[in-house]
Amino acid sequence: MIYDSIENVGNYRSLHPNLALALDYLARKDLAKLDPGQYEVEEGKVFFFIQDNLLSQERPERFEYHQLYADIHLVLEGVERCLYGWDKDQATYDADTDLGFVTCEKEIALPLEKGMAALFFPGEAHQPNQFGGGDVRVKKCVMKVRMAEG
């Protein structure tokens, strides 16, 4: 997991070629101007969603994870709290959607507001869209970066 200012995420380009594609795209595009929907950066490698989300005020029971894709979460408007979890058990996984769920014994909260980014690598449990203390809605980008074969 990487939690850093959007100004610094370019420092992580060398971790994977597809991550470099995603970060280069973020550096040159103003995502806040885009309408909600799915956008392709490079087919099979990087795509993203612009979302208008209602934030949850309840503690999540399950955390999500992915095996093939990393997620980059960027809040464009508002404030969100994203949880990162570990000491996982009771995993389920759907290969068709690259989405699994686990319960976690431990967690840490990451406040996400404009200018901050959270990157979750394959296998890392996270729970986005948690109420962050501001408005109950956020506009955000979730970038999906292919990191593994499968």
Beta carbons within 8 Å of 69's beta carbon, 6+ residues apart: 98, 122, 144, 145, 146, 147, 148
Q: Output the DSSP codes for 6-45.
A: GGGGGGGGGG-HHHHHHHHHHHH--GGGSPSEEEEEETTT
Classify strands 99-113 and 63-65 as parallel, antiparallel or unpaired. antiparallel
Res 91: pLDDT: 83
Res 9: pLDDT: 87
Res 150: pLDDT: 67
* pTM, 2 dp: 0.93
Res 133: pLDDT: 86
Domain boundary assignment for the chain? 2-146
Q: Which fold has domain 2-146?
A: Jelly Rolls (2.60.120)
Residues of the chain with pLDDT under 70: 150
Positive or negative: CA dihedral 22, 133, 84, 37? negative
